[in-house]
Amino acid sequence: MRRKFCIALTFVFFLMNFIPIAAQEVSLPLQSEAVILIEENTGKVLYEKNSTQKMYPASTTKILTALIALENADLNEVIKVGNEVYQVPLDASKAGHNPGDEITLKDLLTSLLLPSGNDSAYVIASYISKKTTGNNELDLNSAIAQFANMMNERAKEIGVKDSYFVNPHGYHNENHYTTAYDLALITREALKNPAFKEIVKQPTADIGNSSSPNQRKFSFRNRNLLLDSRNSDTYYPYATGVKTGFTDEAGECLVASATKDHMNLIAVLLKSPTDARWNDAKTLFDYGFENFKYYQVAKKGDVIDRVYVEKHSPKGPSELEVLIKEDFTGLFHKDDISHIEKKISWNQEPLVAPITEGQTVGAVTFTLNGEELSKIELIAKYGIEKRTIWDVMFSLNAVPYWCGGIGGVFIITMISNAIRKRKNRRGLHFK
């Protein structure tokens, strides 16, 4: 009876939850032409507009340049600046390196990412290309071509599909392009590197060593104004990076990151009108933090159901408590959490003893609007033994019948013996 009631109750809850939920369509007041907002840890897209449209990345290209450098050289390697710095276009941003300067890779990356030095990009491309090919005689054009190949190969490994890079700095070239989505993937990968993460979050930085004649000192201010607490119009208290960009063709660009309540967001904004990128970024971040949260759907070891087991021994329990084998935590829109559904499937129905502790007996599937979120195994909290013939014979319910049966046989035997003896006596009397 209890089992039938549980089945009926489960069916009622299923019907109550089977309510179509309209897809949430949000239109944020953004001026940037192509944007995307993703959560860093999961890669989940929280908002997008024209995120796969071909765009020019400008100096946000340097995020990938930094990643290639970090993966192919040590931060403490000292690099000697060459004549490649003379090849930087006059109207391009520069950190101020001169031929003969000696600078560590860490300081070179700082000068690449904070003041957005195109000269730093050339020095990095030349050094890494010579190092990885073993050819110190590479001219700048050959080094740039080699480095661009490395950029494109690494981008493919990350999952980038609609981008192509021809230089390490993003100075305009019609064949150098990306999408907001691809740039978000690249940034997510770069932020896995602690050194990159540390560099891009700095509002200011001092580099160089005045004690060395070839290591000049520099003081840089980050061009990412979300980090500038002096400017209340652009400052965002949860901002943690990462890179700006601008060319006439690309417009104002920004890749930004922010952290709040253990949630890390990445926003990409491409071809923004003058100064609109700061407000657009803050609008995206506010939307993400206010509407999404991590929610633990299932906890390892929690009892998810209690089910009757057939052929169980009367010496033990008749019902089995079933546990969830592992945790399941996901990132959800806050309005979706109440609509997450679960469905239990059993390895056999009904469950039949014997069952051992920890045995997999089924699985629970969590879904949202018909889409599977996770499927987790269910295990037995304890073992249940199978009943034996002796359990059947000596069970409490069977004892009265066995006693009655044995008693009946005993009585019949006694009567039969008495009749037989009486007949025998009569036989002796008539002889």
**What is the C-alpha to C-alpha distance for residues 160 and 179, in angstroms, rounded to an integer?**
9
| Close Cβ partners of 113 (under 8 Å, ≥ 6 residues apart) | 62, 63, 66, 199, 200, 242, 243
Tokens 């661009």 belong to residue:
148
**What is the C-alpha to C-alpha distance for residues 273 and 270, in angstroms, rounded to an integer?**
9
Q: Which candidate in 51, 93, 111, 116 is catalytic?
A: 116
Encoded amino acid at 171, one letter: Y
Q: What are phi and psi of 115, to 5 degrees?
A: -85, 0
**What is the C-alpha to C-alpha distance for residues 183 and 273, in angstroms, rounded to an integer?**
19
Q: Which candidate in 51, 59, 126, 257 is catalytic?
A: 59
49 labeled binding residue: no
Q: Which candidate in 51, 62, 93, 111 is catalytic?
A: 62
Q: What are phi and psi of 191, to 5 degrees?
A: -70, -10
Q: What are phi and psi of 61, to 5 degrees?
A: -55, -30
CA angle 268, 262, 63 (to 5 degrees): 30
Q: Is 131 a catalytic residue?
A: no
Q: Is 59 a catalytic residue?
A: yes
**What is the C-alpha to C-alpha distance for residues 345 and 348, in angstroms, rounded to an integer?**
9
Element (H, E) at 270: strand 263-272
Q: Is 62 a catalytic residue?
A: yes
Cα 297 versus chain centre, distance: 15
**What is the C-alpha to C-alpha distance for residues 258 and 276, in angstroms, rounded to an integer?**
18
Q: How many beta carbons lie within 10 A of that of residue 347, not counting itself?
A: 12
**What is the C-alpha to C-alpha distance for residues 240 and 199, in angstroms, rounded to an integer?**
10
Residues annotated in a binding site for substrate: 243
Residues annotated in a binding site: 243
Catalytic residues: 59, 62, 116
